[in-house]
């Protein structure tokens, strides 16, 4: 059945009639699109840009991030001294050059302007320049993508957008189903001036992009406000409860790993160990880096420099290949590894979460990963634009153009039962579904819906 026939059936249609179920699904597909499409455009555009974060930052900040390759490198402590000489403060992190042609990055906490990322040539020790910590254009794009600029409550919007996106795909798939129809299934009919062209463009694009929308919604959920926070809390457990079997008998501090170094989502709340009571002189950054190199951390790792007597040297790396993730904590006096964990230590859930996030960010499969998700992002934008044009062409004058109610309301029972399952899996989405049901009922009670 096509959209053009909706609204022309007789009032006596039974609850089992396909037209009634089609109307119910179409109505909720419309609501889902109304809520989600603006977010999807923003997420698709910023997500497409962030897929190429290394390439874009490398181009924009080539004078800071790229160096000529030479034979010998200066010691890490010498690089830190050079950074502090140019920008006085406290060095809190040293980031190892990811490639022979990359600069080192020293994070300095200054008393006047906060944290700075100071870039140093690892071969000459020359300070190349500075940026605010996490102040690159790609960090700005990442914060826009995650809505971080809009406060913690915006994380709830991510969960709502993710849950309603899945509902959008599920209802869209039902509406797309051929039903003895050949046109508009995998081909586009009509010309750009016709509503049929935009309807088919929307349907065909949706069926090819739908899988990616669901995948990106699910793998993006770990950053959400309610579901993500609870799963994170459960996954990490107490101390290093995530993953099971990694706990060792060392005193634990109240400091969290994400506060001192970039880390994976699943370890953001993991607590850090403490060095043993001060006994002698700290080993220093040079020896710590030598130890991390000997232990085989992937190049480009970050070293959090301890600022307190009980602090530790934390080496952490999260490369494109999720299987190479690793975190090592060293006692700052003995240099002994207190905790050493990597992807292989994660449980099945942790591995799936980290792999999914890595693919979501376009990292896991190199350029192919980036290009496939770029195509998906462009498809999502086309999906949103075609929906808006189709709605505008169908919309009656002076009306929102909400699809008509089924003639028999009993068809909503099964639909609501299906929606309830999603609400249980994602509580915040479930609450929004109840609100939308109430508003829908209130709206239809107060006015007769118009449809042309």
pLDDT digits (tens, 9 = 90+) for 130-154: 999 999 999 999 999 988 888 777 7
113 part of a folded domain = yes
CB 324 within 8 A of CB 296: no
pLDDT digits (tens, 9 = 90+) for 360-415: 999 999 999 999 999 999 999 999 999 999 888 887 777 777 887 777 777 777 66
Question: Quick one: what percent of the chain has pLDDT higher than 90?
Answer: 47
Of 135, 162, 191, the position where a domain reaches its end is 135
324 DSSP 8-state letter: G
360 part of a folded domain = no
Taking the CA of residue 234 as centre, how many other CA atoms within 13 Å lie in the half-sphere pointing to its CB? Answer: 9
Q: Do 340 and 276 belong together in one domain?
A: yes
pLDDT attached to residue 283? 94
Decide the pairing of beta strands 90-95 and 127-132: unpaired
Q: Do 297 and 414 belong together in one domain?
A: no
Please state the pTM of the whole predicted model.
Answer: 0.83
57 part of a folded domain = no
Q: Do 337 and 249 belong together in one domain?
A: yes
354 part of a folded domain = no
CB 409 within 8 A of CB 27: no
Q: Please check the confidence at residue 252 and state whether its pLDDT lies above 60.
A: no
| CATH number reported for the structural domain that contains residue 130 in this entry | 3.10.450.40
Of 103, 135, 167, the position where a domain reaches its end is 135
Nearest residue to 117 via CA among 75, 79, 68, 71? 79
Domain count, the chain: 3
Q: Do 336 and 416 belong together in one domain?
A: no
Query: CA–CA separation, 343 vs 243, rounded Å?
Result: 10
pLDDT digits (tens, 9 = 90+) for 271-284: 666 766 666 789 99
pLDDT digits (tens, 9 = 90+) for 280-319: 789 999 999 999 999 999 999 999 999 888 889 999 999 9
Containing domain of residue 156, as a range?
Answer: 3-50+148-224+367-445
pLDDT attached to residue 256? 55
What three-state secondary structure class fits 118? Answer: strand
Question: What residue ranges in 121-227 does DSSP mark as E strands?
Answer: 127-132
308 part of a folded domain = yes
Q: Do 322 and 428 belong together in one domain?
A: no
331 part of a folded domain = yes
């Amino acid at each position: 059945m096509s959209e053009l026939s909706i609204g022309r059936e007789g009032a006596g249609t039974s609850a089992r009639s396909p037209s009634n179920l089609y109307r119910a699904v179409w109505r909720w597909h419309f609501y889902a699109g109304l809520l989600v499409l603006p977010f999807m455009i923003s997420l698709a555009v910023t997500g497409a840009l962030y897929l190429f974060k290394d390439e874009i930052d490398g181009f924009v900040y080539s004078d800071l991030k790229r160096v000529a390759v030479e034979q010998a490198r200066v010691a890490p402590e010498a690089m830190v001294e050079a950074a502090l000489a140019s920008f006085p403060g406290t060095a809190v992190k040293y980031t190892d050059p990811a490639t022979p042609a990359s600069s080192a990055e020293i994070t300095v906490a200054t008393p006047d302007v906060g944290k700075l990322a100071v870039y140093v040539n690892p071969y000459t020790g020359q300070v190349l320049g500075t940026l605010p910590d996490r102040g690159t254009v790609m960090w700005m794009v990442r914060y826009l993508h995650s809505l971080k600029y809009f406060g913690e409550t915006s994380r709830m919007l991510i969960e709502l957008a993710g849950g309603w996106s899945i509902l959008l795909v599920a209802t869209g798939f039902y509406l797309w189903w051929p039903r003895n129809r050949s046109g508009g299934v995998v081909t586009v009919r009509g010309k750009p001036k016709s509503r049929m062209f935009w309807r088919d463009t929307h349907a065909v694009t949706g069926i090819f992009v739908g899988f990616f929308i669901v995948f990106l919604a699910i793998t993006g959920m770990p950053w959400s406000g309610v579901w993500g926070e609870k799963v994170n809390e459960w996954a990490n457990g107490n101390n290093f409860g995530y993953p099971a079997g990694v706990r060792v008998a060392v005193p634990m501090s109240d400091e969290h790993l994400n506060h001192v170094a970039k880390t994976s989502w699943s370890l953001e709340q993991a607590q850090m160990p403490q060095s043993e009571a001060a006994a002698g002189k700290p080993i220093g950054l040079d020896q710590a880096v030598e130890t991390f190199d000997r232990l085989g951390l992937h190049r480009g790792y970050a070293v959090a420099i301890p600022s307190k007597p009980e602090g530790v040297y934390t080496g952490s790396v999260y490369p494109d290949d999720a299987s190479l993730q690793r975190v090592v904590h060293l006692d700052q006096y003995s240099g002994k590894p207190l905790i050493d964990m990597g992807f292989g230590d994660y449980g099945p859930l942790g591995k799936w979460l980290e792999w999914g996030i890595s693919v979501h960010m376009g990292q896991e499969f190199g350029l192919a990963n980036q290009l496939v998700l770029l195509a998906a992002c462009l498809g999502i934008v086309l999906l949103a634009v075609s929906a808006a044009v189709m709605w505008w062409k169908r919309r009656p004058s002076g009306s929102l153009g909400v699809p008509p109610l089924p003639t028999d309301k009993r068809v909503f029972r099964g639909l609501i039962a299906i929606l309830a399952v999603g609400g249980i899996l994602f509580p915040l989405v479930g609450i929004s579904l109840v609100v939308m049901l109430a508003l829908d009922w209130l709206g239809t009670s107060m006015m007769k819906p118009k449809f042309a």
